[in-house]
Amino acid sequence: MKRIAVLGSTGSIGTQTLDVVRHHPEHFKIEAMAAGRNAALVLEQVHEFRPRKVSVQDKEVADRIRHQLPAGVELFYGAEGLIEVAANHEADMVITAVVGSVGLQSTLAAIEAGKTIGLANKETLVTAGHLVTARAKENGVMLMPIDSEHSAIFQCLNGEAAEAVRSITLTGSGGSFRDKKREELEHVTIEQALNHPNWSMGAKITIDSATMANKGLEIIEAHWLFDMPYERINVLIHPESIIHSFVEYQDGSIIAQMGVPDMRVPIQYALTYPQRIHNQAPSLNLAQVAKLHFREMDYDRYPMVRYACECGIAGGTATTVFNAANEVAVARFLQGAIGFLDIERIVYQMISKHDIIPVPSLEEIQEADGLARAEAAAIL
């Protein structure tokens, strides 16, 4: 029986993680969970899975649910509550599925506590990859990727020597606007941007998919997860989302991981590794799919990917600022305060003027993050 803590239990990855647990109660037990402000859903989850600890975003939500919790469930809230649920329990594995850089400190706390990390929070490695990977190594902690692309790469690398790898390629669907030209994007709506053709995801990551910022974040994440130089990380547009990513080896062989676009597959693989058990996701029928399509990444059409690569190569706080500016800009777009293309304009303005700290401490990362957020929010 593997005991699990879920950070971000009411989000897209969190709810799908709980669905995997729901179908395999003989294998998994939810030890702790952290949620945001969705009081009704977190109460439903707590009553179903009976964790020992639960945390919510703030005191207001905590007060609303306090008297409705089952006996014996400890309640926490805020940043301290998130860390409590991440580190101070008997769970073997922590699924970090909160959105944004808020997941950094809780992930570091879980690493210090010796928990295996199921990493579904891109921003943790994007903002502080050098710190996270170093601390994971020091504490003998495994970082298990949950993103479909990184899970695919992880599976394709199994049993192979690092020096045998020529390159890795992350595939991307192209997002909601993959068939639109740039001149058609100036006045697209929030609803159109949230209409992803393949995946069911949260609002923030769906917008990141539409701008392809998510692919840029994934490149940076892959650099840290697989110790791979940026020049050996490629991106390929693949509209069907059947091949989730692949590895090319020095002898010319290519190993790809394929499957239907269902996040329960990489989530479950992270939970059961190195074993595999039955999954509720439908099987892939290649005869029914019939054709797969691919096209080169166009860095002019999707400049956010180029910005992310440039920040990754620059290193230090460059990636922190890229991520912070993007988070703020996406939030403003979802509020209707700016247009779709303003997202990349704000990000470009922020990274262009940033003075990079090459090897930042956690405090310097937090300072750069906070300053970038404040300045990005002030851009008209």
* Binding positions: 10-13, 36-38, 121-123, 147-149, 173, 196, 202, 209, 214-215, 218
> Residues forming the annotated binding site for Mn(2+)?
147, 149, 218
> Residues forming the annotated binding site for 1-deoxy-D-xylulose 5-phosphate?
122, 148-149, 173, 196, 209, 214-215, 218
54 and 33 Cβ atoms separated by less than 8 Å: yes
List strand residue ranges (DSSP E) for 178-334, in order: 233-237, 243-249, 254-258, 295-296
Task: Report the distance separating Cα 8 and Cα 277, nearest Å.
Answer: 24
> Residues forming the annotated binding site for NADPH?
10-13, 36-38, 121, 123, 202
Task: Report the distance separating Cα 80 and Cα 86, nearest Å.
Answer: 10
- Given the structure tokens 């809780």, which residue do they identify? 106
Which of the 8 DSSP states describes residue 282?
A: P
List the helix and strand counts (H, then E) for the chain.
16, 12
The separation between the first and the last C-alpha atoms of the chain, rounded to the nearest angstrom, is 52
Distance of CA 235 to CAs 77, 214, 306, Å? 39, 12, 11
192 and 126 Cβ atoms separated by less than 8 Å: no
Please count the other Cβ atoms lying within 10 Å of the Cβ belonging to residue 162.
9
Task: Report the distance separating Cα 262 and Cα 278, nearest Å.
Answer: 14
Task: Report the distance separating Cα 93 and Cα 116, nearest Å.
Answer: 5
List strand residue ranges (DSSP E) for the chain, in order: 2-7, 28-34, 53-56, 74-77, 93-96, 116-119, 143-145, 165-172, 233-237, 243-249, 254-258, 295-296
- The CA-based angle 208-210-213, given to 5 degrees, is 40
